[in-house]
A and B are shown apart, each in its own frame.
Chain A
Amino acid sequence: MTTDASTTAPPPDADADAVDRAAPPRPPVVSIAVSAVLVLLIGLGVAWLRGRDDPSAIDELGSELPVPIDAPALTLFDTDGAPIALPDLFDDHVTLVYLGYLNCPDACPITMDVLSRALATRTAETRQPVQVVFVTTDPARDAPDEIRAYLDRFDASFIGLTAASDAELAALQDALLVPGAVLEPADEDGNYLVGHATSVFVFDDGVAHQRYPFGTRQSDWERIIQEHADALGDAAR
């Protein structure tokens, strides 16, 4: 009795196997491409859904203030100790105002960094009327020379200001329609965090119409700065 493969009876699905061998299925490249598009669309969809509820989403950027805010009639002190009247400082400029503190672990350095990088991409002509003002919400710890050194890490043109008293700081926050900064309980080393507003207020020639929340990205800031600088230039002409 022979056991040669050629003489053994074919298994029941041999015909199907033969067909498979004779005509191998064509690679469904189209299916792969469609799957790729689906993966991308799902990714985009998830991102869109997330962005819709995210307060830092682009639609929420530049949320219009309920009422325009005039430069607060307050005098603060710069890092050289010189008094600076805010209306005078903001006059004829696009002024980006941020309230923060030097020991801030997240929002403050990120915001300063993003602003400095966005400004660095603009032309000298665009940058010329734009100024960034950092007001400390922790005057007890933030000495003027430390504020100067901190801001120099980002951009030497950034202006650091300190309120003369807690009442002045509170008045500034009231004027900007933000809640007052809150000192958190100190740890055993005496270190503490300060809860504070993280929006950047943009004053055009002494009047703010918009504030931009934390999460505004460099590419957004490049556009915002350009638009405000252009608008100021147009108004001057």
Chain B
Amino acid sequence: MRFWCSQLFEPWSWTPRPYVGVWLLMALAWYDRHRALRRVSAVLPRDAVITTRQRWWFWLGLFAFWVASDWPVGTLGAGYLASVHMMQYMIYTLVAAPLLLMSLPAWRFDELVAKLHAERPMRFLARPLPAAILANVILIATHAPLSVDALRATQVGSFVLDIIWLVGGWLLWVPVLGPSSDYQMRSLPGRMIYLFFAAQLFAMVPGGFLTFAGAPLYSTYELAPRLGLSPLDDQQLAGAIMKVGSLPVIWSVIIVLWVRWSNQEQAQQQREIAERRRNVAG
């Protein structure tokens, strides 16, 4: 039994291999949330504590975290296939992180930020430019061959890498989905532009390096027992995932934001027309 998935240096086996740390962390997340909800339920009306939708987001986010961290995805990504390593990054950053963020009621988000004494850094990091820079610094730093090869070799390193991805995902999504209006971008078109640049455009560059490199860049995956894909094909697939894997999520969110913006504009226009009519009638 191992604490966290990392490079195994042994042939791949389809025998399930659960990781204790993943389950413990999930249990801890659930327990901490459960305690906070119980505490607040005593003083707030039920609807103000948490919505049904937020409950769903929490369980879906936790499920995405589990899929990305535990066997087989976690194990394959940690020591066998760069393409699965990239899928893990995508699941943490583009699925688990936004779902868990959306699962937080505003009071809980503010409480967590206050508990961490992170109001000032959070206010700064939730701005689009710092958030975009940080998300992409994390993207590049955690996909640099030296970082991957060093961190994936140990359980602690692999754990650190996964958590950096999750936290990086939160920071990426706060300006768009932040539960507290203090930390959210007000302009809907601004959010769309931010998402496109922060999560879509810059990822093309490192993705291109992986796709067009003439030799495997990661020794972790180059010297791992083979699983059908050659190391170079696997790396090219990883590059392709980095470049286009985010498309469905990012563009779905952009479309939702666009529809919301369009509805807002229409409502605004209708209000203005009604106002003019009242003035004319008056």
- Footprint of B on A, CB under 8 Å? 25, 27-29, 32-33, 35-36, 39-40, 43-44, 46-47, 50, 105-106, 109-110, 113-114, 117, 121, 214-215, 217-219, 222
Enumerate chain A residues within 8 angstroms of B140, measured Cβ to Cβ. 36
Cα A122 to Cα B157 with chains together (Å): 36
Smallest CB-CB A-B distances: 4 pairs: A43-B147, A47-B150, A105-B11, A47-B146
Q: Is B127 interfacial (CB 8 A cutoff)?
A: yes
Q: Interface of chain A, helix or strand or loop or mixed?
A: helix
Whether the Cβ atoms of A27 and B141 lie closer than 8 Å is no
Query: Which chain B residues lie closer than 8 Å to A117 at the CB level?
Result: 215, 230-232
A27 touches B127 (CB 8 A): yes
A29-B129 in contact (CB<8A)? yes
A222: chain B residues at CB < 8 Å are 215
Residues of B within 8 A of A35 (CB): 137
- CB of B10 within 8 Å of the partner chain: yes
Q: A32-B133, A217-B216 are in contact. Are A39 and B124 (CB under 8 A)?
A: no
Known interface pairs A32-B130, A36-B141, A217-B216; A106-B11 also in contact (CB < 8 Å): yes
**Contact check: which of A36, A43, A114 meets B150 at CB < 8 Å?**
A43
Is B151's beta carbon under 8 Å from chain A? yes
Does B226 touch A at the CB level, under 8 Å?
A: yes
Q: Chain B 215-249, CB within 8 Å of chain A: the 1/0 string?
A: 11001001111100011100000000000000000
Q: Is B223 within 8 A of A121, CB to CB?
A: no
Can you list 19 contacts pairing A with B, beta carbon distance less than 8 Å? A28-B124, A35-B137, A39-B137, A40-B141, A40-B144, A44-B146, A46-B147, A46-B151, A46-B157, A47-B146, A50-B149, A105-B11, A110-B224, A110-B226, A113-B231, A114-B222, A117-B230, A217-B223, A219-B215
Q: Of B129, B151, B226, which is within 8 A of A113 by CB?
A: B226
Q: Which residues of B contact A32 (CB under 8 A)?
A: 130, 133-134, 137
Within the complex, the shortest CB–CB distance from B215 to chain A, in Å, comes to 5
Task: State the CA gap A232–B99 with chains docked (Å).
Answer: 61
Q: Does B16 contact A (CB under 8 A)?
A: no
Chain B residues in 8 Å Cβ range of A46: 147, 150-151, 157
B residues near A, CB below 8 A? 9-11, 124, 127, 129-130, 133-134, 137-138, 140-141, 144, 146-147, 149-151, 153, 157, 214-216, 219, 222-226, 230-232
- Shortest C-beta distance, B11 to chain A (Å), equals 4
Main SS of the interface on chain B? helix
Expressed in whole angstroms, the Cα–Cα distance for A116 and B141 within the complex equals 31
| Residues in B whose Cβ lies below 8 Å from that of A121 | 214-215
Complex interface: chain B residues within 8 A of A25 (CB): 124
- Which residues of chain B are within 8 angstroms of A106 by Cβ–Cβ distance? 9-11, 225
Q: Per a CB cutoff under 8 Å, which of B9, B129, B149, B225 touches A47?
A: B149
Judge whether A218 and B222 touch: CB under 8 Å: yes
* B137 lies within 8 A of A36 (CB): yes
Chain A residues whose C-beta falls within 8 Å of the C-beta of B134 in the assembled complex: 32
Question: Which of A29, A39, A43 has the largest count of B CB atoms less than 10 A from its CB?
Answer: A43
Q: Which residues of A contact B214 (CB under 8 A)?
A: 121
A residues within 8 A CB of B141? Answer: 36, 39-40, 43
Contacts of B222 in A (CB 8 A): 114, 217-218
**A110 near B223 (CB under 8 angstroms)?**
yes
Measured CB to CB, the closest approach of chain B to A76, in angstroms, equals: 27
Partner of A27, one of B129, B137, B225: B129
Distance from B269 Cβ to chain A, minimum over Cβ atoms (Å)? 32
Residue in contact with B144 in the complex, picked from A43, A109, A214, A217, CB distance below 8 Å = A43
Q: Are A113 and B144 in contact (CB under 8 A)?
A: no
Q: Do A215 and B223 touch (CB < 8 A)?
A: yes
Residues of A within 8 A of B230 (CB): 113, 117
Minimum Cβ distance to chain A for residue B163 (Å): 14
**Minimal beta-carbon separation of B124 from chain A (angstroms):** 7
CB closest residue in chain A, given B213: A219
Contact A29 B232 (CB under 8 A): no
Across the interface, do B225 and A105 meet the contact criterion of CB distance under 8 Å?
yes
> With a CB–CB cut-off of 8 A, which chain A residues contact B215?
117, 121, 217-219, 222
